[in-house]
Chain A
Amino acid sequence: MNGYNGLKVVIVYRKINFIILFLSFFLIIPATALGAGKVRVKHLTSITGNNEIGRFGLLGGVFFDENKKRLYFTDTTNSRILAFDDDFKYISEFTGGGALSSPTSIVKDSKGKFFVAEPAKGKILAIDIGKKSVKPIDFSAVSGANPVYAGNMAVDSEDHLYIVDKANQRILLFDSDLKFEREIPVEGSRRLMDVKVDKTGRIYALNTTDGSICVYNSKGKLLLRFGTRGAGEGEFDFPTSLAIDRKGLIYVTDQHKNKVFVFNNNGRFLFTFSQLGWKEGRLHRPSFIYINNSGRIFIVDRANTRISVFE
């Protein structure tokens, strides 16, 4: 081999190296990330108390109104509902003129009516701000071993209201006229804690003590059960709340692991995000999660007394 041929070999060798590098950086690595189904979650902002709105007490539930693009959450200790706009600017607070005492879970239907759980009163209040009306939902048609203990709630696209009844391990379903329609017993699980409904009408129930998630179709037929407590990957310490994003991924907050677990719609564990901490983006005993249509994740970061927003 003469010097010229040798030079050609070196040039070809360098070209191959360059192609390999190019493929690695621009094709293979992104493809691997896609294959893993990894969704990037980043911290967007935190809503904390301040001089204008006062310090927050124990925070309850969160709801995002897609029509008005407003965020609502309950400040249970201070007996109020706080409203923020889409840019997280404070709008107003609502106390109902003393009608609220310890509001926890909150949802709103498409007609603008709020529903707020009041455990101290053993009621769900239906609040129509326009009509200045606050009325409890009538549970007289609901039978059961124990009186209803209303926990978290969800509303579907047809304004059906879903209520966790902790004292009877079931989900109560009310129609858009607030008439009791039926119940979905969450059998074989313990300590029903949360309920959400996705855009297809699937109902998701989270049980804290056994760490299970039950997925039902809109008729209440059990489609899937997954999740457990333990130290292994994808296993919970103390799951508190769940939410479904627009892609159908299931997010679960863990109060003791201080993380959010993400599963695909078959219940396969994908990844977690955040960790114990006090700085923004970290979580300390997260107790509730809500995801809006634009993919923003609102977490009640209870021990940090703030709403942490991710996307």
Chain B
Amino acid sequence: MPKVKNHTFLFYLIFFVIFLLSMTSAHGANAADTKVGFKKCMECHPKIQQEMTQKGRHEPFKKYQCSSCHNPHTSNHEYLARDEIGTLCKSCHKGKKRSFDKKYSHLPFEQGECLKCHSPHSSKNPKLLTARGKQLCFGCHDDKEMFSKKNEHDPARKGNCLTCHSHHTSDYEELIEKSPERICVTCHTVTKKSHLNYPVQGADCMSCHNPHGSNRSKLIKENTHKPFAGKKCTKCHNPAGSADPLGMKSKGISVCTTCHPSVKEDFKKVNTHVGEGVFCTDCHSPHASDEAHLKKAKEKKICTACHQDTKERLKDKNYKYKHPSVMEGKCTDCHRPHGSDFELLYSTDEISACVDCHKRHASFTHPVGKSTIDPRSKEEITCSTCHNLMGSPHDFALRFDQKKELCIQCHKGY
């Protein structure tokens, strides 16, 4: 019996050795093949070979696996990539826990433009980043005015953007790491004393302070509401020592219209942005702002906070032709934010609103107006009959391709 046992052991040992050898040689052959493939690639792409000397290399690149990401023969994507860049990257980089699955995303991340920040082969920077710290962020966020104020927030001055912001996704607007109510108190202590004895703990500090910098002390935003600047809080609020110090002195928008009575007329229109309570603060900051008219944020951000579908359309790459004001987020170039008696809150009738800027078109254009009838709807032709200013796949934001579909919508005989 022991003899039999010895034979069995020997049999398994030989089998294991053969298996091991075959695996090693196969791996060696594969590695050798990969290297051969890599060399072949480098014959035409010698510059990329130089990147092999970098310390930080992308794992497939380090292993000479060009075909992990590229198809050597054909592809529908740039750089002969195997897929859209974003999809390709996310096929391996799935994100830890739910880090890629949050409410707000960095636009390049959302649009799959990973190469805006990361190098695909190698980098001297960590995480294969194309630059370090503020050089990387300021490559796109180059608002020189914002970052050249008399007083700067320390992390912003040092270019430590990630002290407050997340790079890919966040549960909070502006990709801040924590909620607006919690992020500042991570480093700062908020006291009643510094806020004229009003209990502002738990408030959003950024409603008054600019987290990057300001020419005002305490990083207060540049434009201030007169009572706020004069420390006359009781113009609008109850006294600091009262039972409800942050409560308002009067009901609804009367707290605003007492001093701004003409605004009431704006809201007596057919189409308005009337809302509940002190709805002025839906768009305006009652204390301080870096925007004109004490707007809470840039127009585009304020408007798209409610007009979510417009926000999605603005980001949609298929609608690449838009009116310049749409691209720049200047919604109020065409729309009256309080109210209007015209459709879509236009300042006047559509044609007059367009001609106000496009003066040449007042006399030189396809006939429009009351005497020109659209044969499809039997109603007058206006500018938006042919143009979709919020975004179109066609030149001049036309609704249809002008080379084939546009004119024959009405001119059937051609």
Contacts and interface: CB of A to CB of B under 8 A. Distances in A.
Nearest to A278: B376
Interface stretch (A25-33, A116-124, A290-298): A116-124
Nearest to B350: A303
A303 B77 CA distance: 40
B266 to A, nearest CB: 11
Interface string A240-256: 00000000000000001
Contacts of B307: 238
- What does DSSP make chain A's interface, helix, strand, loop or mixed? loop
Contact of A119 (B268, B342, B343): B268
B370 A55 contact: yes
Contacts of A303: 343, 384
Contact of B379 (A49, A277, A285): A49
A278 B277 contact: no
Interface stretch (A4-12, A36-44, A162-170, A198-206): A162-170
Contacts of B172: none
Contacts of A77: 341
A83 to B, nearest CB: 20
Interface string B371-400: 000101111100011000000000000000
A209 interface: yes
Contact of B268 (A122, A166, A190, A278): A122
A279 B377 contact: yes
Contacts of A49: 379
A48 interface: yes
Contacts of B406: none
19 contacts: A56-B379, A58-B343, A76-B341, A119-B268, A120-B268, A122-B268, A145-B251, A145-B277, A146-B254, A146-B276, A146-B277, A147-B252, A190-B276, A209-B306, A231-B312, A278-B385, A278-B409, A279-B376, A284-B377
Nearest to A236: B309
A70 B359 CA distance: 45
B2 interface: no
B267 interface: yes
A225 B343 CA distance: 29
Contacts of A229: 308-309
Interface string B285-322: 00000000000000000000011111010000000000
A48 B378 contact: yes
Given A55-B370, A167-B279, A102 B270 contact: yes
A105 B345 CA distance: 18
B308 to A, nearest CB: 6
Contacts of A167: 252-253, 274-276, 279
A278 B377 contact: yes
B253 to A, nearest CB: 6
Contact of A145 (B252, B308, B343, B376): B252
Interface in A129-162: 144-147, 149
Given A77-B341, A145-B252, A191-B275, A121 B376 contact: no
Interface of A: 46, 48-49, 55-56, 58, 60, 76-77, 102, 104, 119-122, 144-147, 149, 166-169, 190-191, 209, 229, 231, 237-238, 256, 277-279, 284-285, 302-306
Given A77-B341, A167-B252, A149 B272 contact: yes
Contacts of A306: 377-379
A149 B274 contact: yes
Nearest to A231: B312
Given A119-B272, A256-B310, 13 more contacts: A55-B370, A55-B379, A60-B270, A120-B341, A122-B268, A144-B252, A146-B254, A149-B272, A167-B253, A169-B276, A190-B276, A284-B377, A303-B384
A48 B269 CA distance: 24
B314 to A, nearest CB: 13
A147 B276 CA distance: 11
Contacts of B378: 46, 48, 306
Interface string B253-287: 11000000000000111101011110100000000
A277 to B, nearest CB: 8
A261 to B, nearest CB: 14
Nearest to B305: A209
Contacts of B251: 144-146
B272, B277, B341, B344 — which one has the most chain A CB atoms within 10 A of its CB? Answer: B341
A121 B268 contact: yes
B377 A119 contact: no
Which of B254, B267, B342, B385: most chain A CB closer than 10 A? B267
A238 B253 CA distance: 26
Contacts of A278: 374, 376-377, 385, 409
A190 B379 contact: no
Contacts of A119: 268-270, 272
